[in-house]
């Protein structure tokens, strides 16, 4: 059983879509009716009470144990030096993040942290800028699951390479 919490309707739809995509590949079914997780003593008494209110044929009971499945985040890094002053490069990076529909989360040392939702999944992007002699060193760390890190890496890297050529 997988329980996926969500904060809003858009996130719920993304989660539902993921389960729908995997329905044919693995055994994904959504329980019909009321689903509860019961822990502790007294399960038999509760079932006796439940059977007195509905047919026993309407109730399915499973023995579950919490599983700890470790899925590693994918990470990609872009490092590039761009000519210009820090403020200009900061604005350019902000523009690139806006094109990706990145949502600013918070300031981090020497940079900013963004969250991005793409058709390939969700990722976090950290942008770190360091001023040099007429140049700015840009480091962008992309972390996420599935295809999102590679997808965003390709898009952002091509934007930055174009800027370097111009």
146 domain residue, yes or no: yes
How deeply is 137 buried, as exposed, middle or buried, from its count of CB atoms within 10 A (0-12, 13-18, 19+)?
middle
* φ, ψ (nearest 5 deg) of residue 65: -130, 145
Least confident range from 28-42, 69-83, 120-134: namely: 28-42
103-108 and 111-118 strand pairing: antiparallel
Residue 2, pLDDT score: 86
What is the per-residue pLDDT across 75-126, written as a single tens digit (0 to 9) for each? Answer: 999 999 998 889 999 999 999 999 999 999 999 988 999 999 988 889 999 9
List the CATH number of the domain containing 78.
3.30.530.20
Contact 149, 124 (CB under 8 A): no
Task: Give the range of the structural domain holding residue 113, as residue numbers without chain letter.
Answer: 74-165
How deeply is 138 buried, as exposed, middle or buried, from its count of CB atoms within 10 A (0-12, 13-18, 19+)?
buried
Contact 121, 147 (CB under 8 A): yes
67 domain residue, yes or no: no
Structural domains of the chain, count? 2
Kindly report the average pLDDT of the chain as a whole number: 90
Residue 166, pLDDT score: 56
- On whether both 85 and 157 belong to a single domain, the answer is yes
Query: Higher model confidence: residue 140 or residue 11?
Result: 140
Q: Looking at residues 157-161, what average pLDDT do you find?
A: 91
pLDDT bucket at 133, cuts 50 / 70 / 90 = confident
97 domain residue, yes or no: yes
- On whether both 108 and 52 belong to a single domain, the answer is no
- On whether both 157 and 108 belong to a single domain, the answer is yes
pLDDT bucket at 165, cuts 50 / 70 / 90 = low
- On whether both 39 and 95 belong to a single domain, the answer is no
Residue 9, pLDDT score: 93
């Amino acid at each position: 059983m997988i329980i996926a919490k969500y904060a809003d309707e858009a996130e719920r739809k993304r989660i539902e879509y993921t389960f729908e995509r995997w329905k044919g590949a693995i055994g994904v079914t959504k329980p019909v009716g009321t689903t509860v997780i019961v822990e502790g003593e007294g399960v038999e008494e509760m079932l006796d009470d439940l059977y007195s209110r509905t047919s026993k044929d309407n109730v399915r009971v499973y023995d579950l144990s919490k599983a700890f499945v470790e899925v590693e985040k994918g990470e990609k890094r872009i490092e590039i030096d761009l000519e210009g002053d820090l403020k200009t490069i900061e604005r350019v990076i902000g523009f690139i993040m806006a094109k990706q529909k990145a949502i600013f989360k918070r300031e981090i040392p020497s940079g900013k942290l963004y969250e991005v939702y793409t058709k390939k999944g969700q990722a976090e992007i950290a942008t770190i800028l360091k001023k040099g002699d007429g140049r700015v060193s840009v480091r962008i760390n992309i972390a996420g699951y599935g295809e999102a890190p590679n997808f965003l890496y390709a898009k952002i890297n091509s934007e930055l390479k174009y800027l370097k050529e111009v």
